[in-house]
């Protein structure tokens, strides 16, 4: 790997180190090796300055700047933790504490293995029972 060529594509500022090279459509920095292989530039910077990324871990951009390659802004975490720290749909829904219909707080259902709203669950169960009885009457 051409280490000097790699660092020539990094603009070191007081905080973030923005990548001046190629970016993905999602805004992540990509480094092109001479062999035709490309890798995430933030992973290269982390490995060069901090060491290997622990097995099974991904790097979370603590600064939330996807094209930043400053290893001080990168933290190895599980993929689940990385997703939940973000702003995607899964993270947004996971942060909800109450039913969006205003029914109150969620409770944990051991049977279904997820959070539920008691009132919404009761309403769905009532509809299911009604449909089941309607089906018996029509036959």
**pLDDT (tens digit per residue) in 97-108:** 999 999 999 999
For residue 43, give the 3-state DSSP assignment: helix
Question: Does the model's pTM come out above 0.85?
Answer: no
pLDDT of residue 138: 57
Structural domains of the chain sorted by starting position, each given as residue range(s) with its CATH number in brackets: 1-94 (3.90.75), 96-139 (no CATH)
Distance CA 97, CA 36 (A): 47
Where residue 5 falls among pLDDT bands split at 50, 70, 90?
confident
Q: What is the CA radius of gyration of the chain?
A: 24
Asked if pLDDT for residue 78 goes beyond 70, the answer is: yes
Q: Is 43 exposed, middle or buried (0-12, 13-18, 19+ CB in 10 A)?
A: middle
Tokens encoding 70: 């400053």
* Strand spans (E) along 24-97: 30-32, 38-40, 58-61, 74-77
């Amino acid at each position: 790997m051409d280490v000097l060529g790699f660092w020539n594509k990094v603009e070191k500022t007081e905080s973030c180190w923005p990548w001046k090279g190629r970016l993905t459509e999602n805004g992540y920095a990509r480094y092109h090796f001479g062999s035709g292989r490309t890798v995430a530039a933030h992973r290269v910077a982390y490995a060069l300055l901090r060491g290997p990324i622990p097995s099974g871990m991904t790097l979370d951009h603590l600064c939330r700047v996807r094209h930043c390659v400053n290893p001080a802004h990168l933290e190895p975490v599980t993929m689940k933790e990385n997703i939940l720290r973000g702003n995607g749909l899964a993270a947004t829904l996971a942060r909800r504490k109450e039913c969006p219909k205003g029914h109150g707080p969620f409770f944990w259902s051991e049977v279904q293995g997820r959070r539920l709203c008691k009132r919404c669950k009761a309403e769905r169960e009532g509809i299911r029972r009604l449909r089941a009885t309607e089906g018996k009457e029509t036959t």
